[in-house]
Structure 1
């Protein structure tokens, strides 16, 4: 998943981005609303984490513009304001969730997962395809009772394929979803991760097919 973190506190921004990156998410950081708009103009995001008080404006104004532009990317507001009226105002403005600073990283991660599940229309975390069961919380694939552990980016790649069963995903799309602007990406990065995931799927009916010149797709063989 690719997240946009809009937060002007450099220490907090770095800590949140590092924590989410450990889960395999790509995180772009913006310290101002202007930087955030530039990021939105250059990439698409699965989730936005939004501070309220920013150097060049109020995050709630950004949220209003975000919804008026019919952008459906879910937004979690992060702020030190803890009054009930502040939470109600953020939610009524268009936020999908609200977390008060200081927060525990585990709670933030759980809220991110919950919002993404709601937006994806899935109440359950585990996904089943062919003869595999994928559990993103445990970072495992289960094939005929055998549990295989996934590394963070392998897990996010599996999520992408499961969300697009049978559809071709280009290398460019996969790079966009797996890497942030600040991360160096080698020419064969996607081939490396696809190769690793294929090894984890070895022996199952789930196959990652290469469509020459176009990309990859998950099929049942």
Structure 2
């Protein structure tokens, strides 16, 4: 999943981005409100983690501009401004959650997980398709009691397809979800990941099918007669 972190405290931004990348997310970081406004107008994110006390443009103004553009990214406000009227204003402007600094890292991670699940339209921490399950908290796949060992890039791709099982996901959407600004991944690389996933999933009755000219979708293999 792709996350934008908007935080002017460089040390905090570095720490949070490392945590988010460590759980397999593509993370972009900007340090001022004007950059956040420009980036959210040009790029798609599953989640925006938004400070309020930002140089150049206040975080609430960034949020207001996002929602005025019908930007539907989930927004977690992360700020030292904890007065009740500030929280109410942020939520009324369209924030999905509000976390006050200082905060516990484990709580931050839990709130991120909940928002990403909600953004994907999921209501449970476990998703199953065919004989394979995905634990959204640990981002671990398993077949029954057997854990599936999947390399990071392929795991990210499978997670995207799994949470939209049976629905076509465009190549461009996959590339955006898997990469941050400083990453480089091609359509050819996606095809290689798909080919490897087909081999990994085949023993468990699943495959990745191609919607020619559009993208890919997860499907069940026909049962042997």
What SS does the corresponding residue of 2:92 show, helix, strand or coil? helix
**Higher mean C-alpha displacement, 149-158 vs 33-42:** 149-158
**Map of 1:36 onto structure 2:** 36
CA distance 1:12–1:196, change in 2 (3 Å): farther
Aligned residues: 221
**Map of 1:179 onto structure 2:** 179
What SS does the corresponding residue of 1:8 show, helix, strand or coil? coil
What is the CA–CA distance in structure 2 between the aligned matches of 1:6 and 1:18, rounded to whole Å?
14
- Quick check: 1:139–1:150 contact (8 Å CA) kept in 2? no
- Quick check: 2:37–2:65 contact (8 Å CA) kept in 1? no
What is the CA–CA distance in structure 1 between the aligned matches of 2:144 and 2:30, rounded to whole Å?
44
What SS does the corresponding residue of 2:169 show, helix, strand or coil? coil
1:166 corresponds to 2:166: yes
What SS does the corresponding residue of 2:45 show, helix, strand or coil? coil
Unaligned 5+ segments in structure 2 are none
**Map of 1:77 onto structure 2:** 77
1:47 corresponds to 2:11: no
1:98 corresponds to 2:110: no
RMSD of aligned alpha carbons:
2.2
What is the CA–CA distance in structure 1 between the aligned matches of 2:116 and 2:108, rounded to whole Å?
12
TM-score by length of 1: 0.88
- Quick check: 2:127–2:163 contact (8 Å CA) kept in 1? no
- Quick check: 2:46–2:119 contact (8 Å CA) kept in 1? no
**Higher mean C-alpha displacement, 148-157 vs 20-29:** 148-157
CA distance 1:186–1:34, change in 2 (3 Å): same
* 1:158, distance to aligned residue in structure 2 (A): 2.1
TM-score by length of 2: 0.86
**Higher mean C-alpha displacement, 155-164 vs 110-119:** 155-164
* 1:198, distance to aligned residue in structure 2 (A): 3.5
What is the CA–CA distance in structure 2 between the aligned matches of 1:111 and 1:151, rounded to whole Å?
25
CA distance 1:171–1:117, change in 2 (3 Å): closer
* 1:18, distance to aligned residue in structure 2 (A): 1.5
**Higher mean C-alpha displacement, 165-174 vs 23-32:** 165-174
Spell out, residue by residue over 1:46-93, the C-alpha distance to the aligned partner (whole angstroms, 9 max, x if none).
111111011112111221222222222111101112333322222222
**Map of 2:132 onto structure 1:** 132
* 1:188, distance to aligned residue in structure 2 (A): 4.3
What is the CA–CA distance in structure 2 between the aligned matches of 1:196 and 1:16, rounded to whole Å?
31
